[in-house]
Structure 1
Amino acid sequence: MFIHMKELQYRAKPERPDPVFARKLQEVLGGQYGEMSVMMQYLFQGFNCRAEQKYRDMLLDIGTEEIAHVEMLSTMIAQLLDGAPADQVDEAAKDPAIAAALGGMNPQHAIVSGLGAMPTDSNGYPWNSKYIIASGNLLADFRANLNAESQGLLQVVRLYEQTTDPGVRDMLSFMIARDIMHQNQWLAAIEEIEAIDGPIAPASFPRERAVTEATRQFMNFSVGEESSMGRWANGPMPDGTGNFEYVANPTAYGEAPVLKPAAKHQHSTPGTGPYVVNETVKN
């Protein structure tokens, strides 16, 4: 059961209308790394969580907070569209698509949503569930969450630098703060799980079934040796199973593939006429 409070989690009131920036904010609302994505990702990870109860509760706590962020952004976008400059509004009334294109505004804000936010990115592409990850493996999922918060924070910071509106910056400064907090939360959760199961996800696969030497080798497939100087090419491996091995000139494990010749009978496909695999057939 979810309970909605009328008050927003934080202030979301711009100083002046700005339909162009409203379009930009759609990215951190309905884009791949927007608030809708982290909201759905954390909630579905929580709904499906079979691990210790504290992990389920954490996921649902943060996912529920992200619902509040979706509402804050939607409210801000609606107000940035409300009372837009008169020349844009007048033109939109005559031909919304043309006025929106000329002004840099999202035409669908004028045509489809009635000057309201939409579950889309800044180019109007609809949000979809392919953006989210909920695999059931906590370590893999928490790393995906850390990536989502990192990319989301990057985009919000870039948007902060693209406006001087004090009201918009005020709201974005809060969202930046929460993204910093959530990155720290996922880092702490990852550290806790790694201390129990190690840093490799999934931890359940028997290591002896893997090709042992391939688990240690950093293979250089390019010209130059600069990559050999990285931590990933020398010294102990983070999982404690051995040392990295730098391979300057990798050799092939397998053989050149030899495939059997195609069958010598014809097939027919509607609309294309007769054909034979790997042969030319004349009608």
Structure 2
Amino acid sequence: MFRHQKELQFEVKVDCPDPMLARQVQEVLGGQFGEMTVMMQYLFQGFNCRGEEKYKDMLMDIGTEEIGHVEMLCALISQLMDGASPADQAEAAKDPHMAAIMGGINPQHLLVSGLGGLPTNSNGVPWNAGYIVASGNLLADMRSNLHAESQGRLQVARLYHMTTDEGVRATFRKMLARDRYHQYQWMAAIAELEEKNGVVVPATFPPEAEMEAQEEAYKFWNLSEGEQSAEGLWATGSAPDGTGDFKYYADPDPEGNIPNPTVPASEVHHDLDKELLKRK
């Protein structure tokens, strides 16, 4: 059961309307790493969680918090759009300098949402459910969550420096702090799951099950110009699960065969060489 409460999690109060900033804020609302993505990602992971109850409870806690963050950003966008009108935009367009500035306004804020937030990114691309990860594997999902929070916090930090509005910055600071805590949470869950089951996903398919392919788990193939990649622990250290040591191949040779596909029927119309067709 979900229940809406009228008060926002944190106060949203801008100092001055700024339609251009409203467009930029759309990215952290409905972009790939925006609040809509983490909201849906955590909730669907929680809805489908079959692991320990504490993981499901944490996912539902944070996912529900993200619903509130979506509402906060909608309130922020609405306040940034206060006073904007098509007439204002037309008047501003008469001045070339102002036209260049006003050209950055998202016209959908005027035409579609009536000065409100939209489920889109900063370029008006609709939010996509393909952004979310909910695999049913707790470790895989928690790692995706850490990635999502890392990218989301990065974007809010960039937005923070794109405005001097202290009211907007106050909201962003609260969001940055929560995104930092959420990273702590996912890191703690990841560490706990790795301690229980190992660092490789899925743990239910252990390294020894790879049989004759086992050695391929430790080879670093140098397949680009330069050999600087040899300097990292990923090329010369030991596997995190202790099952083997990495080996760097500076000039690796291919181990496979050259593909020789069967000649298809002429009705497929591949325009193949006539001599090749004769040999079919």
> Does the alignment reach a TM-score above 0.5?
yes
| 1:247 is aligned to 2:249 | yes
Equivalent residues of 2:85, 2:110 under 8 A apart: no
C-alpha separation in 2, matches of 1:45 and 1:64? 12
Higher helix share: 2
What runs of 5+ residues in structure 1 fail to find an aligned partner? 93-98, 268-274
- What amino acid sits opposite 1:56 in the alignment? K
Change (3 A) 1:258 1:86: closer
Where does structure 1 differ by over 3 angstroms across 4 or more consecutive aligned residues?
Answer: 84-87, 89-92, 99-103
| 1:256 is aligned to 2:236 | no
Describe the SS at the equivalent of 2:220: strand
C-alpha separation in 2, matches of 1:100 and 1:85? 17
Equivalent residues of 2:222, 2:251 under 8 A apart: yes
C-alpha separation in 2, matches of 1:3 and 1:261? 62
Change (3 A) 1:225 1:120: same
Q: CA deviation at 1:203?
A: 0.8
C-alpha separation in 2, matches of 1:144 and 1:243? 27
Describe the SS at the equivalent of 2:234: coil
C-alpha separation in 1, matches of 2:9 and 2:236? 48
- Residues paired across the two proteins, number: 267
Instruction: Determine what percentage of the aligned residue pairs are the same residue.
Output: 58
Equivalent residues of 1:26, 1:122 under 8 A apart: yes
| 1:10 is aligned to 2:4 | no
1:229 to 231, 236, 253: 231
Describe the SS at the equivalent of 1:218: strand
> Over aligned residue pairs, what C-alpha RMSD do you find?
2.1
**TM-score for both structures, normalised by structure 1:** 0.89
| 1:160 is aligned to 2:160 | yes
What corresponds to 1:278 in structure 2?
272
- What amino acid sits opposite 1:261 in the alignment? V
What corresponds to 1:220 in structure 2?
222
Please show how residues 1-283 of structure 1 align to structure 2 within 5 Å: 1-84=1-84, 88=88, 91=91, 102-210=102-210, 211-263=213-265, 265-267=266-268, 275=269, 278-279=272-273
Q: CA deviation at 1:102?
A: 3.8
C-alpha separation in 1, matches of 2:3 and 2:195? 36
1:140-195 deviations in Å (ceiling 9; x for gaps): 10000000000000000000000000100000000000000001110000000000
What runs of 5+ residues in structure 2 fail to find an aligned partner? 93-98, 275-280
Equivalent residues of 1:262, 1:278 under 8 A apart: no
Change (3 A) 1:101 1:118: farther
